[in-house]
Chain A
Amino acid sequence: MTEPSPVPRPLFHRLALRDGAPIDFTIDGAPARAMSGDLLITAILTNRSDLRRFEFAAAHRAGFCLMSGCQDCWVDLADGRRVRACSTPVEPGMAVVVDGGVR
């Protein structure tokens, strides 16, 4: 096993740049920035390499199918909502909970 990297490295890599305004949101309380037109999975994975904790072992998950089939990318929001990140647009001020949650 490799050591967890100290600085979160993004997973997704933007190839097509867009004109729209940036969208500010948070991950575990820390500020993060997305682009207008981003789905939540893109917003999170252009900032870090995982989306959520895996409930059944000490591991993280980052989604898998991106077409609403595998259900691997459900994430918690601080307001209590649970959303599927591959089919939910990111919204300004969205507060994503990955490791800082109480679930």
Chain B
Amino acid sequence: MSDEPSRVVVVGAGPAGLRAAEVLAEAGLRPMLIDEARRPGGQIYRQPPSGAERPAEALYGFEAGKATALHGLLARLGDRVEHRPETLVWSALENRLDLLGANGFETVEFDRLVLATGAMDRILPFPGWTTPGVFTLGAAQIALKAQGVAIGRRVALVGAGPLLPLVVHQYLKAGAEVVAALDVTPFAAKVRHGFGLLAEPATLLKGLWYTARNVLAGVPVRSGVAALRVEGGERVEALVWTDAGGREHRVACDAVGASFGLRSEAQLADLAGCGFVFEPLTRQWIPERSPAGRSSRPDIYLAGDGAGIGGADVAELQGERAALALVEDLGRPVDAARIAAIEGRLARHRRFRVALEQAYPFPDHIAAAIGDDEIVCRCEGITAGALRKTATERDTREMNRLKAFTRCGMGRCQGRVCGQAAAEVLSRAHGVPVESVGRLRGNPPIKPIPIKEALR
């Protein structure tokens, strides 16, 4: 260990990044904590902007205590953490991060890096999904949490995971009208894997409580939804859905919040050269991560949903655990009993997560039903038909080749929205497993930056 202090950087100020920064600060490493948002909390504990504040209980419900503790963390740590809010990390190469923040363009070198980059909704196209008024389920929640608005006056919500009953509950509690709550996964899967969910009884109870409240409030709550279609040209007029028995229903609404689980934001791990693995359980590629949070690169650590979906409680534990691994790798003392306790809790959460993913399996039928006319690439309007044509006529069997021919994944979102859907379309066109078509490689900048900044 050299006398020179190590430059430690954490990217992401959600539950994982905040807990990592806390451990690193306590070890005297004075980490730099970089985050795109103005205020810490990440998306799950997102704080409203100045002027739109509301009481924590109204914003975060049962989780208000956790949210408040995390929001107060940086104030408590003071200058033991160098907080860099409103700063985008738009590239990572070797030991260098490229930043765009209040002071413009900047390069930061690191000795050790913790990536806690979070997740966003997983998207699958369905007819009408680009109509104004169709948002992700996560967006519906953020509209309420960060702004105190509903995405419409009559809102239909669609999901494939535990976020659905929560958002429905939050909308009802805030006084919004929810005209349908549609789960595209089958009810039978929840019964079959209910026992596994007992690994986290409090979480299971909360889920059941939300669902019961939603039903009692008179919201039509349906599982096993077979198909979806949005009607309306200039804006959403109705959601048409097919039930498990094949019957079609039409519900008038002016907004739809729909998504199909979550996907990790892993671009920076990719650019930094971390190894990736395919996770069959969630049907997505995620950065390789040891139980302690080490990546395949000896100086990079991974925590939270950015390297596999686990939820906010797991993210806090992983942030703490990964930072302890980092401290240990620097040759400094760590508390073995503390590590054992974290690992015990993470193991229990892992059992719960496996049961949860089985209770909310990937909606294969939605992916299989993507029609030729459907836009897959939302940025540039590239259709599933165009992807299939390239797949067969140019014998394209790999995602980056598909991107080169069609531009799917090359637009502003850099494949965040279209990547998984395009992989489903491509693999099905050839009748091969989805993992065999690979994954879109990341490219800098991972989000749009002004060209004048890049040229400086």
Q: Which of B30-45 contact A (CB under 8 A)?
A: 36-37, 43
Interface pair A66/B139, CB less than 8 Å apart: yes
**B60 within 8 Å of A by Cβ?**
no
The answer, among B49, B53, B416, for a CB contact under 8 Å with A69, is: B416
The answer, among A14, A18, A64, A89, for a CB contact under 8 Å with B139, is: A64
Interface pair A57/B51, CB less than 8 Å apart: no
Residues in chain B near residue A1, CB distance under 8 A? 233
**A75 within 8 Å of B by Cβ?**
no
Interface pair B52/A18, CB less than 8 Å apart: yes
**A16 within 8 Å of B by Cβ?**
yes
Q: Considering only CB atoms and an 8 Å cut-off, how many residues of chain B contact the other chain?
A: 54
The answer, among B147, B378, B447, for a CB contact under 8 Å with A64, is: B378
A-binding segment of B148-156, B352-360, B426-434: B148-156
Please report the C-alpha to C-alpha distance between residue A16 and residue B234 in the assembled complex, in whole angstroms. Answer: 27
Residues in chain A near residue B138, CB distance under 8 A? 65-67
B448 to chain A minimum Cβ distance, whole angstroms, is 6
Q: Considering only CB atoms and an 8 Å cut-off, how many residues of chain A contact the other chain?
A: 46
CB-based A-B contact count at 8 angstroms = 150
Interface pair A16/B153, CB less than 8 Å apart: no
What are 29 A-B pairs at a CB distance below 8 A?
Answer: A2-B233, A2-B234, A4-B234, A11-B152, A15-B149, A16-B52, A16-B58, A16-B174, A18-B51, A36-B51, A36-B52, A37-B48, A37-B147, A46-B149, A49-B132, A50-B234, A50-B235, A61-B130, A62-B135, A64-B135, A64-B136, A64-B139, A65-B121, A65-B135, A65-B138, A69-B265, A71-B412, A72-B378, A72-B412
B residues with a Cβ closer than 8 A to A are 36-37, 43, 48-54, 58, 120-121, 130, 132-136, 138-139, 142-144, 146-153, 174-176, 232-235, 237, 254-255, 265, 378-381, 411-413, 416-417, 447-448
Given contacts A4-B234, A49-B234, A66-B139, 17 further A-B contacts (CB under 8 A): A5-B235, A11-B255, A39-B146, A42-B149, A46-B149, A54-B130, A54-B381, A55-B380, A56-B381, A62-B133, A62-B235, A64-B139, A65-B139, A66-B146, A69-B416, A71-B448, A74-B448
